[in-house]
Amino acid sequence: MKPLISVLTLGVADLERSLAFYRDGLGLPTTGIIGREFEHGAVAFFDLSGGLKLALWAQADIAHDTGLPVQPISPTALTIGHNVVRREDVDQGLRAAARAGAKIIKSAQDTFYGGYAAYFADPDGHLWEIVWNPDLLPPDD
């Protein structure tokens, strides 16, 4: 299998609330919710770096599509890493997330590997890490 991941989909309880959090609160670019004309099809896509898309889809619709029962979100099962170019970007990103309504899980602090990082959870409990790692800096877009 060629490792080409193009979409990361988060199951959410309330699609409108999550759209507002990511679009209005965090400022991620999107055209909004599409696919409302299809039963279980409403989804919102956000453009991320490198062509990656973040999708928000109702957990109930994912359950319908997969045939699996809805399960509680486990924040320790997966984290989404947002790597930043400058150390101070961690603090700025955490403040923006807090203003958007995120729950701050761990305030920004030095890491064991010489970086600087913090954690927040979105309205559904999905865990995000904002991290500055001087050895793995992302491209400066």
Number of helices (H), then strands (E), belonging to the chain: the values are: 3, 8
How many domains would you assign to the chain? 2
For 103, left (φ over 0), alpha (ψ -120 to 50), or beta? beta
CB 108 within 8 A of CB 117: yes
CB 117 within 8 A of CB 130: yes
Residues 15 and 61 grouped into a single domain: yes
Residues 17 and 43 grouped into a single domain: yes
Cα separation values, 20 from 1, 64, 86, Å: 35, 24, 27
pLDDT tens for each residue of 116-133:
999 999 999 999 999 999
Residues 60 and 21 grouped into a single domain: yes
117 falls within a domain: yes
pLDDT tens for each residue of 17-72:
999 999 999 999 999 999 999 999 999 999 998 899 999 999 999 999 999 999 99
Residues 84 and 53 grouped into a single domain: no
Q: Which domain holds residue 84?
A: 79-132
Residues 61 and 107 grouped into a single domain: no
pTM: 0.90
